[in-house]
Structure formats: C-alpha cells, structure tokens
Amino acid sequence: MTIDSSEQIKRVLIVGGGTAGWLSACHLAKKLASSSPAGVQVTLVESENIPTIGVGEGTVPAIRDSLRYLGISETEFIRECDATFKQGIKFANWVRPPGTSGADYYHHIFDYPDNQFGDLTPYWLQGAADGSYVDTVAVQGAVCDSGLGPKDMTVPEYEGHTSYAYHLDAAKFARLLTRHGVKKLGVKHLLADVQSVLRDESGDITAVKTVAGEQLEADLFVDCTGFASLLLGQSLGVKFVDKRDVLFADYALAAQIPNQSKDAPIPSFTISTAQESGWIWDIGLSERRGTGYVYSSDHTSHDRAESVFRDYLDDKTGDLSIRRIPMRVGYRETFWQNNCVAIGLSQGFVEPLEATGILVYDAAARMLADIFPANKSAMPIVAKQFNQAVQYSWDCVIDFIKLHYCISGRRDHAFWVDNCDTRSIPDSLQEKLALWKFQPPSAYDFPSKFGIFNLANYQYVLYGMEFETTLSAGSSGWYTRMSEAVSRIQEISMFSKQLLGALPEHRVLIERIKKYGLQKI
C-alpha cells in the first residue's frame, strides 16, 4: 500500500528557543534523522530580542540519559555550561521553624534506597537504626555532607559511584544545545521575530509570519514561546488551568552571587531553605552561586520578600542586583491541539522546588520524538496519547511538590498554615497520606512510569519530614527479619565510610574534569 505523500509530515517548525526549544529540536532531529527514510526537516526560529528566564539551573538524573543519547560529551558539557554535580536537594528548616529542637535539615538524594535485603523502611520505622532515614538506607547523604563528588576520574562519562544530575548555567546550556543541534543533528536555525500565526479553515496552523513579512510553513508546529504561548494559547485558544489554589508561590526573586574565592567549596546539592512565605534556592556553580526566593504574594509583600532574601544573602548594603519574576503556576487544558504541540513554559509550569521544569520539558520532547506520527492521519491518535501522558505527569508533579508543604510541622506563618488546609491538598495526595499513616508506601502506589516521581522520592521526603507511619500490631508482625535488617544497615554504614575515603572533594573533581576530561568508554 502506498501512502499519500501529501499525508507525510516532512517539516517541523519549533517556535522559540531556550532550553525547552533546543531540547525539543535535538530530540526530534536525533530521532527523525535516524528513523525516517523520507527525511523530516526540523527548523527552529527564535528571536534575538527575547532573553531566556535563565534561572532553571537544576536538573535530575534523567538529563544524563538525554545528553548521552543526543551524543553530547559529558566533559564538553561540564566545561561549556559551568556545570557542577548535583546529588540531590538539602532541605533546611522545612520540618519545623528555625531555632526549635530537632534536626534542621534532610536530604532528598538521587540514589535509590539499598535493596539487597529488600525494603528497609518498615524496619527503620520499628527502630532498627537510630539515624536518619536517608543515612539508614543509602550512602549518598553522607557523601553530600562530606562535600564530595559522585565519582572519581577513573569512572567513564555519565557513570558514577552514586547517582547524579547537574547544576548548570541555563543560558550556556541553551547555546551548547544550539550548536550541537545545528552542527551535529542538522537542525535549521532561523533568527526572526514571529508576529502572527496563520491558520486554515480546519483550525490547523499553516505558517507563522515574521516581522519581516516572511511566512514560515510546516506540517507540525512546536510552541516553545514561554508563558506567552503564542501558538497554543493565543492562536488556538487552549485555556490555562491555574493551580495556585494548590501551590501558592507565584513570584521568584533571583540573584547571581560571585563565589567568595576561586577555591571555595561547591555543594554537590541544591540547598532549599524554607522561609516565612516560601523558600530560597542556593545553587553552586564553578564561578558563582545562583540564588532565588520563591514566595507567595498572597502571604507577603514584595518589599518584605526582598528583605528576607537580602538577609539570607547577607546583603547589608542592598547593592546586589535582584530580578523579580512572576510565575504562572498551572498547565494548559491540552498540550497537543490540531497540529501544534506545546513544550516548555507554554505547556505548563510549577515552582522549581524539585527541578521539575527541565525534567518535564525534556521528557515531553523525548516522548514527542518517540511517538512522532507516521502521517497526518495518525496525528489525532498520537495527540490523544501525548495529552493523557503529559496531563498525568503534571498532576503527579503537583502532588509531589505539595507534599513538601502540607506535611510540614511549621505553623509560624500563614503561608504554612494555609498549605496544611485540606481544601488546598489534591484528593489524590490526601488518599495516599491517609494510607501511609498505617503502612509505608509501596511500588503499587505508583503504577505509571509517567508519574515522574516514584516510591524512593516519596520515601525520602516523607521520612525526612518526619511523617509518622504507625505500624499496627498486626502489620508489624509481617516484618520478621529484624536481625537481618540490622545487619544490612550496618553493612551500608561500613560501605559509606569506605566511599567517603575514596571520593574526591567536589570542586577538585570539577577542576580535574575541566583540565583532563573524563573517559568516554
């Protein structure tokens, strides 16, 4: 059977650059160049006059798979993006207000809990170890606290003794993806300001028109125009679903701070410090720190937020340059409408607490490339699959972010009190929390791979936040291998001490990689 050539999708136009646009371009070009004998031309058009927001400097381990798949050298990436290693997030002052008794931080690490014995969680709950949950079931928390990197120079690119992601300079990352997409993957790059969107009688987009009057035609359009959502939102009229009733933070203050010295230690984790009406991120790069205060304007004034942020930065003179960035929290009703797919801020956004931005955009771009329709007739079916998967992902992300707030013991400001109001907690999360009061989470609570965050992520946050799971007399009797569990916990502790003696200090590792490079095989 011969397929009508008019039904083939031969041209994809991505409107907008930045991290989301260029990840989309690279994934599509990589996949379509290798799998489509007819050839699909991927073109990206972006304006020289619209700067990227440039504060999304944290990633999660999935980015390693994408970088390796796209053919980008890890050494090149670290050198060109001012990248450092990220082994998780350190949450300070989230459990209780500062100055009260008890641990003042916990780690959400990237390593999975040790599974040689099985799930150690119920045994930890029954007192098999005195330490924190993360230090009982894994070694990475100790690695972070000791200021060490996740690997040494003998470990090949994209591999490590512990799992890791990166902190990076978002603008430099976009430039690296641009060069790689154009030179290595065949992406066509245009610089132009898009003025309007042209559509036919069916509602499909036929072209975008530039300020210079040029019409750029395509069969499929990818909207990466940021919060403006020029194609999906403005032209196709897809409504935005506001989620501020669940996640209150709607502004961020951002500042870049030079490192105090060239040999200053670099934390291999994001520091997230809870404040009266939100939280402050602190990310260490080789040459500077990226910092920001995410807050709710319903719970504090902009002036008060800036005062809190400057206090954290120890900016007594008020000389530091600070940007205020409005955040629109939520997502579009659909993400693929007609022949237009939205990826990036035009698709949706939640606050950057768990580095979900690049994570979701990268996953959506990879999915679009993997399920790319064979022809125009297949597009509605593929669009339906895409919409269902991405919708589920966003809802799961929102649940997980809300978890951090709604199980906190802080009641020192209205922001924290309101976050614990059940009216602001999704039913899906309330049901899980009700279950987990009596039994620890299990893999069966996370049945879909599109859920983004899984069992281990929830375990680290729940028990780092001192969530109480009370095993009943009957259920505790199911866990009868206490002596074996204690032995395994002791083995993990011994391995942790060995690893601490073998791994290099984080800054030293970064400098060695920049100088010598990592093994590629």
DSSP 261: S
Contact 290, 283 (CB under 8 A): yes
Helices (H) and strands (E) in the chain, counts: 16, 21
Contact 17, 178 (CB under 8 A): yes
Could you tell me the CA-to-CA distances from 369 to 65, 304, 365, 489 in Å, in that order?
Answer: 15, 45, 6, 43
Q: Three-class SS of residue 272? A: strand
Contact 26, 185 (CB under 8 A): yes
Dihedral sign, Cα of residue 443, residue 444, residue 445, residue 451? positive
Choose among 200, 175, 218: nearest CA to 15: 218
According to DSSP, the β-strands at 11-15 and 41-46 are parallel
Rg of the chain, C-alpha, whole Å? 24
Choose among 108, 109, 134: nearest CA to 120: 134
Neighbours of 154 (CB within 10 A): 7
Contact 432, 442 (CB under 8 A): no
Please give the biggest Cα pair distance in the chain. 75
Residue 255 tokens, joined: 């500042």
Beta strand ranges found along 148-204 (DSSP E): 165-167, 188-191, 194-199
- Any catalytic annotation for residue 86? yes
Query: Which candidate in 30, 86, 90, 243 is catalytic?
Result: 86
Q: List active site positions.
A: 86
